[in-house]
Amino acid sequence: YGPEDGLLVLDSLRKEFGGLTAVDDLSFAVEEGEILGFIGPNGAGKSTTFNCVTGIYPPTAGTVWYDGEDVTGESAHEMVKRGLARTFQEFRPLPDRTVRRNVELALAPDRVFSLSGLRGQTREEATALCERVGLGDRLEQTPDELPHAGLLRLELARALATDPDLLLVDEPFAGLSSGEVSEISDLLEELRQNGLTLVVVDHNMRGLLSLIDRAIVIQFGSKIAEGPPEEIREDERVQEAYLGG
Ligand code: ADP
Ligand code: MG
């Protein structure tokens, strides 16, 4: 793999925690405009891979390219500035602030809030983002008033506030009903239609099949399969990984 292979490219990425190898020479590319599924059993190394790409942890070895440039080991702040955003598996919105305020704070961490003109603009942008993710009627509620899918929508709005080109979504479907899974899938598809590239993580294929163009499956930190979802589902190594064989 090389810098021209995709919008985001990982080559021989490795992450060790003491004696544990969480990501083991993992290579793959994310193509511009696609929705890539990043699948693997619990503990396979999915979040760690994200953490190494988004500047949370420095990788032990390997290279990450973003938009043609070597970004290996860059800070989280730098990666956000480049246009890479992520959601976290466990959302932590500020509990005593409204939905809109939570999005305002993600939009404008550095803006000077005492300038009333900017405050108005920030408020409008936050409102538009909330509407975009389906929270237009919950602007004045606090996070504890939202259903779980609503918290995920808020997490998505906060990620979109950084105006990304690529969004990494970590386990969005955990804890959602099948109705909510299809609503969130529709939202993610809509974001893609509007020009976003997405990587969606899940511990299995449930709910992902109709959404993704392509899947990468990992186990013990290594890639075991890659291809269109209907092929992946039939793959022997994938079936073994999920049967514990
Ligand atoms: P997944 O997201 O696929 O469920 P993770 O990437 O969270 O898996 O974890 C992969 C492995 O790395 C697991 O064995 C986990 O316990 C370990 N791990 C993750 N983060 C850390 C950390 N900060 N320190 C030590 N071990 C970690
Ligand atoms: Mg995880």
Q: Give yes or no for residue 184 CB within 6 A of ligand 1.
A: no
Q: Give yes or no for residue 45 CB within 6 A of ligand 1.
A: yes
ipTM of the complex: 0.99
* pLDDT score for 83: 97
Number of domains in the chain: 2
* pLDDT score for 245: 46
Indicate whether 19 and 67 sit together in one domain: yes
The chain-wide mean pLDDT, for the chain, equals 93
Q: Which ligand is nearest to the CA of 218?
A: 1
For the chain, percent of residues with pLDDT exceeding 70? 95
| Section 151-156 average pLDDT | 97
Indicate whether 133 and 229 sit together in one domain: no
Q: Which residue among 143, 163, 183 closes a domain?
A: 163
Question: For ligand 1, what atom is nearest to the CA of residue 57?
Answer: 23
Indicate whether 77 and 169 sit together in one domain: yes
* CATH number of the domain enclosing 16: 3.40.50.300
* pLDDT score for 172: 95
Q: Give yes or no for residue 48 CB within 6 A of ligand 1.
A: yes
Long-range contacts of 65-73 (CB under 8 A, 24+ apart): 65/2, 65/3, 65/8, 65/9, 65/11, 66/7, 66/8, 66/9, 66/166, 67/7, 67/165, 68/3, 68/4, 69/3, 70/3
Instruction: Give, using CA atoms, the residue closest to atom 13 of ligand 1.
Output: 43
pTM: 0.94
Q: Which residue among 119, 142, 163 closes a domain?
A: 163
Tell me how far the alpha carbon of residue 39 lies from the centroid of ligand 2, in angstroms: 10
> Could you list the residue range(s) of the whole structural domain that residue 206 is in?
1-83+164-245
pLDDT digits (tens, 9 = 90+) for 93-145: 999 999 999 999 999 666 555 555 667 888 999 999 999 999 999 999 999 99
Q: Which residue among 163, 194, 216 closes a domain?
A: 163
Q: Give yes or no for residue 218 CB within 6 A of ligand 1.
A: no
